[in-house]
């Protein structure tokens, strides 16, 4: 549907340009100071239109290139930050695992000591 709409709008625009060209066929003299040129008005208008479009493209190309360069740099920074974040997460997980293992060993030692004390107390008590 969008292609058809674009095609119809293109035809309408082309028709308007053709009608405009037919209505503006008079010859106009342009004085550049060092030369004088006589061209049909529509040709002068089309030349000005093309020159304006060319200038707009040239001006926007610099901005577009700058934005692309900035986007590329931002992507690199994002990748670096993600990598650093993954490294920090891995380090934090390793540290947490080591701390947990230390706590487990400490508590296992405490449990063993308490079990020994309990066994010793049970052996020391006279049987009734």
pLDDT digits (tens, 9 = 90+) for 57-76: 888 888 889 999 999 999 99
How far apart CA 45 and CA 35 sit, in angstroms, is 19
With respect to residue 35, please indicate whether it lies within any of the assigned structural domains.
yes
pLDDT, residue 30, reads: 86
Does residue 109 lie in a domain region? no
Q: Is the pTM of this model over 0.75?
A: no
In a domain, 38, yes or no: yes
Query: Is position 43 within any domain?
Result: yes
Print burial letters for 69-81: b (CB count within 10 Å at least 16), e (below 16).
eeeeeeeeeeeee
Q: What is the pLDDT of residue 128?
A: 56
Q: Is residue 78 part of a domain?
A: yes
Q: With contact defined as beta carbons under 8 Å apart, do 15 and 23 qualify?
A: no
Q: Is 13 part of any domain?
A: no
Domain count, the chain: 1
Q: Is residue 73 part of a domain?
A: yes
Q: How confident is the model at residue 105 (pLDDT cuts 50, 70, 90)?
A: very high
Is 126 part of any domain? no
Name the residue range of residue 50's domain.
21-89
């Amino acid at each position: 549907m969008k292609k058809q709409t674009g095609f119809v709008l293109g035809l309408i625009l082309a028709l308007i340009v053709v009608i405009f060209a037919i209505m503006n066929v008079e010859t106009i003299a342009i004085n550049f100071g060092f030369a004088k040129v006589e061209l049909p008005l529509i040709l002068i208008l089309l030349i000005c239109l093309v020159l304006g479009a060319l200038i707009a493209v040239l001006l926007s190309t610099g901005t577009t290139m700058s934005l692309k360069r900035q986007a590329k740099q931002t992507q690199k920074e994002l990748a670096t930050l993600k990598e650093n974040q993954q490294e920090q997460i891995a380090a934090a997980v390793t540290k947490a695992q080591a701390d947990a293992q230390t706590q487990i060993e400490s508590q296992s030692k405490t449990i063993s000591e308490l079990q020994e004390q309990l066994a010793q107390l049970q052996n020391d008590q006279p049987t009734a």
